[in-house]
Structure 1
Amino acid sequence: MTAPYPQVVLFGDSLFQFASDLKGGFSFEAALQTYCSRRYDVVNRGFSGYNTSQALKILPQLFPALRPSGPKLEYLIVLLGANDAAVTVPVDCQHVDMDKYRANLKTIITHPNITAHKPKILLVTPPPLDEIRVAELDLANGHPHVLRHAKVSAAYSQTAREVAAEVPGTVAVDLYQEIMDYAITKTPGFDSSSGLLGDPTTGKRGYLEHLLPDGLHMSGEAYRVFFDAVVPHIKPQDPKQPQAGWTFPEWRKAPWLES
C-alpha cells in the first residue's frame, strides 16, 4: 500500500494562516501546493496571534510521534516572532522576551516529534515592520502607545538568523532582508544608510506601504517575494524526469491499466 503523501508543513502565526488567502491575485499556499503537486501535501498550521511559547505548547498535538502509517514530514517551514516582538502590555500580552524567543525557536526545531522525521527545516525571519503605519492604526484604535517597533522587530529577525546558524541542518530564509531589499529597490531616492523604511526616525514608508498594508501583515506582492525565497530550498522537479518523486504514477503507467 502506498504511504500518505509526504508533507510540507507551514508552522507559524497569522503570516502563515493568511498565506492561504488570495491577495492581489496571488496565494502563497496555493502557489506552493502547485509547485509541490503530486509530490508533497502542503499543510498550513498558521495560528493568528500566537507567539513562540504558544506554538511550542501545541506542537505535540500538531506533530504527533512518528508512526509507520502516518505521513512523513519532509519539510518544516517555521515563521514565528512577529508577535513575540510586540511590546509588553497589561492585558492580552503577546510579548516574549528575546532570550525566551531564542530558546523557544531552538526547542521547536529540535523537538523529538520533529527530528524523528529528519525533515529539512527552513527557519524564516519575521518580515520588516512598518512602524509608521502600525502607529497610525494603533493610535486610531485607542491604544495609548504603539504596540510594535521597527527596530525591535529587526532585532527578533536577527535572533532567528542566529538560531538557524546555531542548529545544524537548519536553513535560514531571510524574509526580513528579502522584503526590505525589494522595498528599497522600489523606493526611488531612498538611502538605506539613513535608517530603515517604516521607522519613524526616517519618516518614510516607501514601498513598504504596498508590501505591508497594515504595517504588519503581508500583501500578495510580499507573499510573492516570500514564495520566491522559499522554493529554491524545496527539491524541484527534474525537467528531464518530471514524474520523479510522484507518489502515484502517471496515468499511462498506472499498474491497474493492465487489468
Structure 2
Amino acid sequence: MRPEIVLFGDSITEQSFRYGGWGAAIADTYSRKADVLVRGYGGYNTRWALFLLHHLFPIGSGTPPAAVTIFFGANDAALSGRTSERQHVPVEEYKENLRRMVQHLKDCSPSVLVVLITPPPVDEEGRKEYARSLYGDKAMKLPERTNEVAGVYATQCVDLARELDIPSINLWSKMQETEGWQKTFLGDGLHLTPEGNAIVYREVIKVFDEAWLSAAKMPYDFPHHSEIDAKNPEKAFEQLCLGM
C-alpha cells in the first residue's frame, strides 16, 4: 500500500489544494508514490483541533500515516479583546496543545515523521484592508492579529520542535526574508498567495528530502509503463501476482 502523508491544520491547510496550493504541489510530487490527505479545518485553533485527534489518527490503526504536517497558530494568535478573540489561545497553552498532538501521533506510530509549521507573518494593514472590503465603515479599526504576536507563537512552535527533536519550518521568519513579503506572499494579510504557497511547498519538501521520505527515492506503486512488455505484460506484474 502507498504510505500516507497527512496535512493537518487550519484554513491555510484546508485551502492547500486550491489552484497553486502547497498541498496540491506535494500531491503532484508524490504521485503514484504516496497518498497526500488534507485534513485542514478553517478557523480552528489548537484547542479545538485536539478534539479531532482520535478521529483522524486512531490509536491502534493498522495503517498509521508515514508523515504528518501540523500547521496551526494563525488562529491561536488572534488577539484577546479584538474581533477574533473567540479563536485566541494563550501561547503557553498553544505550545502544550502542539506537544499533545505530537505525542498522540507518536503513540500511533513511533516512526511517523512529524513536521511542525509555524504560523505565517501577518500584514496588519492587509488585514484592515480586507476587513474594509467586506464590511466598509463597520470594519474593525484595529487589526485582530499582529505580526509581533504571531512571531511569539512561531518562536514557541520552533522551540517545541527543538525540544522534541523533530523538524520544524519557521514560516514566520522565512517569509520575512523577502522584501515586500506582505503583498507577495499574503492575499488578505494572512492567507497565502500562490507565491506564499510555493514557499510552504519548498520548505516541506526540503524537510521530507532530508528525512527518509524523498519522493525521488521512493518506488512507484505499480510498474512504470516503460517496464511493461506489450507482448508479455503479465511479466511486469509477476511479483504482484505472487503476493495475492
TM-score between the two structures when normalised by the length of structure 1: 0.79
Aligned to 1:152: 149
Aligned to 1:229: 203
Aligned to 1:198: none
Aligned to 1:164: 161
Q: 2:88, 2:30 → 1: CA distance?
A: 35
Q: 1:10–1:42: 8 Å Cα contact kept in structure 2?
A: yes
Shift, 1:164, TM fit: 0.5
Question: Which structure 2 residues correspond to residues 127-138 of structure 1 after superposition, within 5 A?
Answer: 127-138=120-131
Structure 2 counterpart of 1:220, one-letter code = P
Q: 2:83–2:140: 8 Å Cα contact kept in structure 1?
A: no
Aligned to 1:173: 169
Structure 1 counterpart of 2:18, one-letter code = D
Q: 1:155, 1:102 → 2: CA distance?
A: 11
Q: 2:241, 2:4 → 1: CA distance?
A: 30
Aligned to 1:214: 188
2:48 to 36, 48, 54: 54
Query: Would the alpha carbon gap of residues 127 and 151 (structure 1) be closer, same or farther in structure 2, given more than 3 Å must change?
Result: same
Shift, 1:247, TM fit: 3.0
2:71 is equivalent to residue 79 of structure 1: yes
Aligned to 1:7: 4
Aligned to 1:38: 32
Shift, 1:256, TM fit: 7.9
1:103 to 96, 105, 124: 96
Q: 2:23, 2:204 → 1: CA distance?
A: 12
Q: 1:162, 1:149 → 2: CA distance?
A: 20
Total equivalences in the alignment = 223
Range with greater deviation from structure 2 (28-37 or 78-87): 28-37
* 1:167-200 deviation digits (Å, cap 9, x = unpaired): 13x101121222111x22xxxxxxxxxxxxxxxx
Q: 1:75–1:119: 8 Å Cα contact kept in structure 2?
A: yes
Structure 1 counterpart of 2:142, one-letter code = H
* 1:9-49 deviation digits (Å, cap 9, x = unpaired): 00000010011111xxx232221011112221000000000
Query: Would the alpha carbon gap of residues 257 and 134 (structure 1) be closer, same or farther in structure 2, given more than 3 Å must change?
Result: closer
* 1:87-116 deviation digits (Å, cap 9, x = unpaired): 1248861000011001001001111x5432
Q: 1:114, 1:21 → 2: CA distance?
A: 30
Structure 2 counterpart of 1:178, one-letter code = K
Query: Would the alpha carbon gap of residues 158 and 248 (structure 1) be closer, same or farther in structure 2, given more than 3 Å must change?
Result: same
Gaps of at least 5 residues in structure 1 are: 185-205
Structure 1 counterpart of 2:214, one-letter code = P
Q: 1:63–1:114: 8 Å Cα contact kept in structure 2?
A: no
Q: State the SS of the aligned residue for 1:162.
A: helix
Gaps of at least 5 residues in structure 2 are: 229-235
Shift, 1:257, TM fit: 9.4
Q: 2:61–2:108: 8 Å Cα contact kept in structure 1?
A: no
2:112 is equivalent to residue 119 of structure 1: yes
